[in-house]
Amino acid sequence: MMNVCKVRDLEIGSGNVKVCVPVVGCTQEDILEKITDLEKQDYDFLELRLDYFQDVHDMCKVKELLQNVRQVLSRPLLLTCRSSKEGGQVDFQEQDMQALIDLVCQDDIVDMLDLEMSYDTVALFRWIEELHRHHIQVVLSSHYFDCKPDNEDIRSILDKMDVLGGDVLKVATIVNYKKDVIDVMNVTLEMSSRIQRPLVVIGMGELGKITRIAGSLMGSAVTFASYGQESAPGQFSLEDIHIVLEAISHD
């Protein structure tokens, strides 16, 4: 039986695929304006892409931002600081992530934190334990923007995420060929029956769009939809994702 990731009243891995909306913005004012506008929209949880924030290395300003986000946001919050080595906007080293983890563990200001598998394995073990002690769920993630890894490599990274104890396991890879799309969906189907944690396996780019909707039929628990600026290539808009998910609904 699937181990559901419960975040407030949201159960990731149970029922329909969950819709996450990433928010990107350079300033606190821009971010809060977008989140306030999103409160009127239909989605399940929000991802704040901290790597776009102009003061990302200033933990005092990050804390102020997160406290203000908490004031206006009614849904669960996933905090992500995507490093440049995994397609993000900022050079974020191990000491930077440690400082961020120390911050979010002080106060009830985030529900989930994204940790990249490119960090040191020992550090990941330590961080996951610390975050869990403070009731913060962990999304372990790995991103491939140049070419799709071999299927066995995707299986291996998902298995490693499982052993580390991530609550949601995410792999996103560019797909350049039609065969890549089939591979991504086959691996999703296989691993969702083997690993008892919610998986998010995404093919990025125009060819990969089908994995963002049909992936839910294969066992992918979350899809990401843009509201304004895309945070990854091939994302559907929030409006369009509801239309296509309704069209393929298998309830």
| From 18, 34, 148, 170, active-site residue | 170
Q: How far apart are CA 195 and CA 223, in angstroms?
A: 19
Are 25 and 52 in contact by the 8 Å Cβ rule? The answer is yes
Q: Which of 112, 117, 121 is nearest to 139 (CA)?
A: 112
Report how far residue 21's alpha carbon sits from residue 223's, in angstroms, rounded to the nearest whole number: 9
Main-chain dihedrals φ then ψ at residue 138, nearest 5 degrees: -120, 125
Active site residue 170: yes
Residue with tokens 């239909």: 42
Active site residue 143: yes
Catalytic residue among 143, 148, 160, 242: 143
Between helix 178-194 and helix 209-218 the angle, nearest 10°, is 30
DSSP code of 6? E
Q: Where in the sequence numbering do the catalytic residues fall?
A: 143, 170
